[in-house]
Structure 1
Amino acid sequence: MSQSDILFDYKHIWHPYSSIINPLPCYSVISAKGVYLKLQNGRNIIDGMSSWWSAIHGYNHPILNKSLKKQIKKISHVMFGGITHPSAILLCRKLIKLTPEKLDCVFLSDSGSVSIEVAIKMLMQYWKSLGQNRTKILTIRNSYHGDTFAAMSISDPENSIHKIYKKFLPKNLFANAPTSNFNQEWNANDIISFQTIIEKNQLHIAGVILEPIVQGVGGMKFYHSIFLKKVEELCKYYSIPLVFDEIATGFGRTGKFFAFQHANVIPDILCLGKAMTGGTITLAATLTSRDIAQTISRSNIGCLMHGPTYMGNPLACSVAYANIKILETNEWKKQVINIEKELLSRLFPLIEHPRVNDVRVLGAIGVVECKQHINLELMQKFFVKHGVWIRPFKQLIYIVPPYIISTKNLKKLINVIQQSLNENILFF
């Protein structure tokens, strides 16, 4: 990649959450293998982000590559309207087998945010089919569900990255987020706000949508599993569908295959994405119960009104199936346990650092919450200089490394985080 290419990128290509006038610097990656990203200058840096939670087996995995090559020789894409194919059928069989028995109808889409949109459409059409015009979604504060409009409307309107769109979005219902942390004592008061809202608005609520256990972009908080259990009980009592957004947490990241398993609860709708294809190509899924699917299908419309062009993409379905086959060996369990032990042993002690407000660890997720805001540009430069790729935001430095990371490389990630805390120039 030439200097003119870099300059073109700087002037013309928008990157996530960045400015076109004064964009954050981008680092040119020319290849990747295992846990390493190879930069333009030939240096290898350790990826601590799994490409935003997705590349759980690292890069250039031979089994995933083989599945892509095999599929592309047959067909890379075909419309899903009026057509089906073996890759989609194999994947959906596998998804139904992996998830609770209740979830046996699958809608495939092309990104996690769209899977949330599909779930919301399912809720609206479900109640419409029952002759009720329910349009409100209940969730909790500090939530984040994606960047498309319906998904934005159920992300915290005050504290999320989407608050600038507040006037354009539908008004939904937000209960207080639980204060009881995952590994601490349960505070019974945590359910009061949620219970009050659901009781008051029970005839207007189309569904409840939550990120189970882990609140991602809203602050990387890990809340108590009893909160999920209490929410499930209220949803059952008021016959309100419960939706779980497992886009970030699904496929082993929290130490359970799905985060909701920490609470032993079962949703009525489940949204999946990110790690579903092992970080190779975009794909998402929305699973629901047969009752909801059939109720929608019995309506005057008779169908779910959504159909992405790349729905059921054969390449994506093929590699997702191969990814799940790797996970079914259960090697991920040992890998995630080892990562968690190392994070608890080496990352957690950083809570004593004067610049640190809190440290949180769950499965293969490690979070350092700082007392000051981070200078993202300088912090990113510091990390790359020291051979790691970590993408902080606001006051948070967090890592979600590939499951295959070695103890040596994980130690390096943690050591560089520790070093960064001692650099005054990296904080506001």
Structure 2
Amino acid sequence: MLEYDREHILHPYAPSNPSADMTFVKSAKGVYLELEDGKKIIDAMSSWWSVIHGYNVEALNNAAVEQLSKMSHVMFGGITHEPAIKLAKTLIDITDTSLERVFFSDSGSVSVEVALKMAFQYWSSQGNSEKSKILAFSKGYHGDTFGAMSVCDPITGMHSAFEKILHKNIFAEAPGCDYNAEWDEGYIADFASKLEQNHKEIAAVILEPIVQGAGGMRIYSPHFLRVVRALCDEYGVLLILDEVATGFGRTGKLFAYEHADISPDILCVGKALTGGYMSLAATLTTKKVMHGVESNGNVLMHGPTFMANPLACSVANASLELLLHSPWQQRILGIETQLKEELSECNTLDIVKEVRVLGAIGVVELNRDVDLAWMTPKFIQQGIWIRPFLNLVYIMPPYITSSEELTQITQAIYDVVKEFAAYSKRST
């Protein structure tokens, strides 16, 4: 099977027929992945932020089985169903009170596409076709579909190959202020200038609140987000917050925008929405935005086949119930406290540039790029699944990870990074 995989199956951001070994997972339970040879390793990545409750969760399994006995899918055009209505109500209840409309889609990237369409249609439906650009940020990442790619970092991002065919948007400097940094107006100067100069053609601002994910796992000051919100209000521009990665508790708040005590005009969520069981996302917005979109008899022009899939909605309902009725705040605080204490040891290594922690996110930034083919097997030998990228060794463990399991993860990071430093010296 592995040989067939290498020959025929494409994996994310990887060449076909890769020379590196593929890790074969045959089952998963709790925080552990069981490999083909029976070895169990802790998943410190939550399968890219999504598996917040761990794997093979009884409550989520039961929700899926129960819904399967009714219907796994039905079109959402002209039809509705209880799982979608219940999920919409929960999302409206747990997000800011201004967010009262929900659009369900297949993935986080598509939720961003929908948000961009909402912003453009909001203005065009009211006769303002001049607002045809988005103001985004360097180091930002919002997905791999074409609209989403157009608001990702155009230079250092992953989509430079498509630069000539993407919609041309405007980019401000990435937030450069640490989470606890003393505020300096210089941090916001470039963004403020770009907004002032171009606000007449800007439909919306989009950014990942508090944590820029795939653009470098950068954690920035809540005050930056407050000023962005204020400037958007001042210049009459919509604010889209992409919480596909940060939503549902990952940063220590249910949603990252709560760190700044602000609210968006449009909010994108996904990943952890179903506890990592299947792909589902949502775009939430205000009555004002939707009334604007629907001016002059218009409707939002989007409609995925699997929109509000009943099976996915049922699992999402079970996942949110499990999250909201758990001591998730205490768990995240415990993970954060332990990560700050234990990952700090990495600062003693010359190869380490910086250690950053927020909520259930831990980042060890190196002063050189990692060697993925060398490092991944080393982590597996230590009983850990970590997928580094660029110069970052980062983790976002499931919320149910025990303190003992977390110590195993942090110790593995220290040991492997230390060994990597020696390996790098020999290689050069």
Instruction: Please give the TM-score of this superposition, normalised by the length of structure 2.
Output: 0.97
Match of 2:237 among 230, 236, 240: 240
Is 1:254 matched up with 2:234?
Answer: no
Deviations 1:48-99 (A, max 9, x none): 0000000000001111111111111000001111111100000001000011
Contact 1:179–1:187 (CA under 8 A) maintained in structure 2: no
Q: Which residue of 2 aligns with 1:90?
A: 86
- Superposed, 1:25-424 pairs within 5 Å as 25-133=21-129, 134-300=131-297, 302-423=298-419, 424=422
Name the aligned partner's letter for residue 173 of structure 2: N
Deviations 1:13-45 (A, max 9, x none): 001110014354221111000000000000100
Question: What root-mean-square deviation, in Å, do the aligned CA atoms of Structure 1 and Structure 2 show?
Answer: 1.1
Identity over aligned residues, as a percent?
49
Q: Which residue of 1 aligns with 2:2?
A: 6
Contact 1:179–1:223 (CA under 8 A) maintained in structure 2: yes
**In structure 2, distance between residues paired with 1:184 and 1:198:** 23
Name the aligned partner's letter for residue 258 of structure 2: Q
**In structure 1, distance between residues paired with 2:193 and 2:258:** 26
Flag the 1:333–1:426 CA change in 2: closer, same or farther, 3 A.
Answer: farther
User: Comparing 47-56 with 14-23, which one deviates more in the overlay?
Assistant: 14-23
Aligned length: 423
**In structure 1, distance between residues paired with 2:356 and 2:344:** 7
Partner SS for 2:28: strand
Partner SS for 1:164: helix
- Superposed, 1:18-29 pairs within 5 Å as 18-22=14-18, 24-29=20-25
Deviations 1:140-169 (A, max 9, x none): 111000011110110010111112211111
Name the aligned partner's letter for residue 50 of structure 2: S
How far off is 1:348 after superposition? 2.1
Contact 1:18–1:24 (CA under 8 A) maintained in structure 2: no
Partner SS for 1:299: helix
Contact 1:272–1:284 (CA under 8 A) maintained in structure 2: yes
Name the aligned partner's letter for residue 412 of structure 2: V
Flag the 1:287–1:426 CA change in 2: closer, same or farther, 3 A.
Answer: farther
Partner SS for 1:266: coil
Name the aligned partner's letter for residue 154 of structure 2: P
Contact 2:8–2:17 (CA under 8 A) maintained in structure 1: no
How far off is 1:184 after superposition? 2.2
Deviations 1:328-352 (A, max 9, x none): 1141111101100110110123122
**In structure 1, distance between residues paired with 2:43 and 2:90:** 29
**In structure 2, distance between residues paired with 1:412 and 1:246:** 29
**In structure 1, distance between residues paired with 2:127 and 2:20:** 50
Partner SS for 1:51: helix
Q: Which residue of 2 aligns with 1:425?
A: 423
Flag the 1:23–1:210 CA change in 2: closer, same or farther, 3 A.
Answer: farther
**In structure 2, distance between residues paired with 1:314 and 1:22:** 37
Instruction: Please give the TM-score of this superposition, normalised by the length of structure 1.
Output: 0.97
Name the aligned partner's letter for residue 277 of structure 2: T
Partner SS for 2:135: strand
Partner SS for 2:200: coil
**In structure 2, distance between residues paired with 1:23 and 1:207:** 43
Contact 2:210–2:222 (CA under 8 A) maintained in structure 1: yes
Partner SS for 2:267: strand
Could you tell me which runs of 5 or more consecutive residues in structure 1 were left unpaired when the two chains were aligned.
Answer: none
User: Comparing 16-25 with 155-164, which one deviates more in the overlay?
Assistant: 16-25
Contact 1:378–1:426 (CA under 8 A) maintained in structure 2: no
